Amino acid sequence: QVQLVESGGGLVQAGGSLRLSCATSERTLSSDAVGWFRQVPRKEREFVAAIRRTGGTTYYADFVKGRFTISRDNAKNTVYLQMNSLKPEDTADYYCAADYNIVTTPTYRYWGQGTQVTVSS
Low-confidence ranges of the chain (pLDDT < 70): 1, 26-31
Q: Is the distance from CB of 5 to CB of 22 less than 8 angstroms?
A: yes
Instruction: Report the alpha-carbon distance of residue 11 to residue 101 in Å, rounded.
Output: 32
> Tell me, what's the pLDDT at 31?
54
> Tell me, what's the pLDDT at 53?
78
> Tell me, what's the pLDDT at 30?
56
> Tell me, what's the pLDDT at 3?
84
> Tell me, what's the pLDDT at 43?
95
> Tell me, what's the pLDDT at 28?
42
Residues ≥6 apart with Cβ < 8 Å to 40: 91, 92, 93
